[in-house]
Amino acid sequence: MPTDPVLVVHGGAWAIPDDMLDAHLNGVNNAVKAGWNALSKGGSALDAVEEAVVVMEDDETFDAGRGSFLNRDGKVQLDAFIMDGSTLRGGGVGCVERLRNPIRAARKILSESPHVYFVGEGAEGFAAEHGIPLCDNGELIIPREVERLRAFQAHATEQAPNLFAPAISHDTVGAVALDAEGNVAAATSTGGTLNKAPGRLGDSSLIGCGCYADNDSAAASLTGWGEPIMKLVLAKWSADRVLSGNAPEWASQEAMNYLKSRVNGHGGIILLDRRGRFGISHNTPRMAWAFQTKQRADSGIER
């Protein structure tokens, strides 16, 4: 089914501080450029979401790749998932510590492994065996995040702040795309939540929770507080609303309403079907997003 390509990306949904708005907007615009470049050269939806997410993993603004939140032990632990809507093949990594671009490893798993997931050292070993260089975990850590963790832990001992308040960053990144062949794909990448317990896995890399793609329904990528999102298997829930005849614009908003009303969760979603219709919704104070179609490009963040 030949069609006009579409690409949508997000760069996290939370109370993004005023002084980080421009960085977020630049980041999502750069991500769209990279993904659109892949689509323009005849690349697949999978190529587009991978390239878009790599740009945001490389950008220290976001909670993905270098610059991610630190876990309780002061380490970066990353989760990522990518899914092909035409074959339903997926590739995911969880709790990886030595990969600058976990989404590249996830793509290799999708393309070159009979499995869907690798975690921890096994994932790092798989990546290395498939030509993806490993780095030292220290190379993923930046001073801003060392200070953020220090301040959080100092405060936590005094009055136990709410780790999941919307003001705590959920800068997970993601992309959904439709290519010229009429196939959809989705990708999501994250450093997870600040001060998380070592080994904690969020929604982002769990199939159907923070990421899902099926040509028959839609492609979805989520950001936000992972535990409520995974309880609702919200990416699949949202895609199923499209399958049953609803527009992605409506289904994305309904997903955020459901997240809030059912489990008091917060976050954001991008949702795209193979007709090129898409929705961008969040129930947090701000979310950074951008999209590109043949006719139109736009990006935004609440000012």
By annotation, the residues acting in catalysis are 172
CB of 294 to ligand GLY, least distance (A): 31
Q: In the complex with ligand GLY, which residue's Cβ is closer, 183 or 223?
A: 223
The dihedral over CA atoms of 44, 45, 47, 53, expressed in degrees to the nearest 10, equals 170
Binding segment toward ligand GLY, per CB under 6 A, in 133-141, 174-182, 190-198, 278-286: 190-198
Q: Does 195 sit near ligand GLY (CB under 6 A)?
A: no
Q: Does 204 sit near ligand GLY (CB under 6 A)?
A: yes
Cα atoms in the 13 Å half-sphere on the side-chain side of 36: 20
Q: Does 190 sit near ligand GLY (CB under 6 A)?
A: yes
Q: Does 223 sit near ligand GLY (CB under 6 A)?
A: yes
Q: In the complex with ligand GLY, which residue's Cβ is closer, 130 or 200?
A: 200
**Other CB atoms within 10 A of residue 263 CB:** 16
Nearest CA to 267 out of 250, 290, 283 is that of 283
Sketch the per residue contact string, 60 through 99, with ligand GLY: x for CB under 6 A, - otherwise. ----------------------------------------
Q: Does 124 sit near ligand GLY (CB under 6 A)?
A: no
Tell which one of 172, 217, 221, 253 touches ligand GLY (CB under 6 A).
172
Tell which one of 68, 183, 189, 193 touches ligand GLY (CB under 6 A).
193
Tell which one of 224, 248, 265, 279 touches ligand GLY (CB under 6 A).
224
Q: In 3-state terms, what secondary structure has residue 28?
A: helix
Q: Does 274 sit near ligand GLY (CB under 6 A)?
A: no
CB of 141 to ligand GLY, least distance (A): 18
How far, in Å, CA of 241 to CA of 86, rounded? Answer: 18
How far, in Å, CA of 198 to CA of 278, rounded? Answer: 35
Binding segment toward ligand GLY, per CB under 6 A, in 123-131, 199-207, 252-260, 295-303: 199-207
Q: In the complex with ligand GLY, which residue's Cβ is closer, 36 or 62?
A: 62
Cα atoms in the 13 Å half-sphere on the side-chain side of 183: 19
Q: Does 5 sit near ligand GLY (CB under 6 A)?
A: no
Tokens of 65: 């790749």
Tokens of 176: 């959904």
Side by side, the strands of the sheet bearing 267-272 are 211-213, 219-224, 267-272, 278-282
Sites for ligand GLY among residues 19-58 (CB under 6 A): none
Q: In the complex with ligand GLY, which residue's Cβ is closer, 182 or 265?
A: 265
Tokens of 182: 């009429």
The string of DSSP codes covering 73-121 is TS---EEEEEEETTT--EEEEEEESS-S-HHHHHHHHHHH-S-SEEEHH
CB of 31 to ligand GLY, least distance (A): 17
**Other CB atoms within 10 A of residue 100 CB:** 17
Query: For binding to ligand GLY (CB under 6 A), which residues are involved?
Result: 170, 172, 190, 192-193, 202-204, 210, 223-226
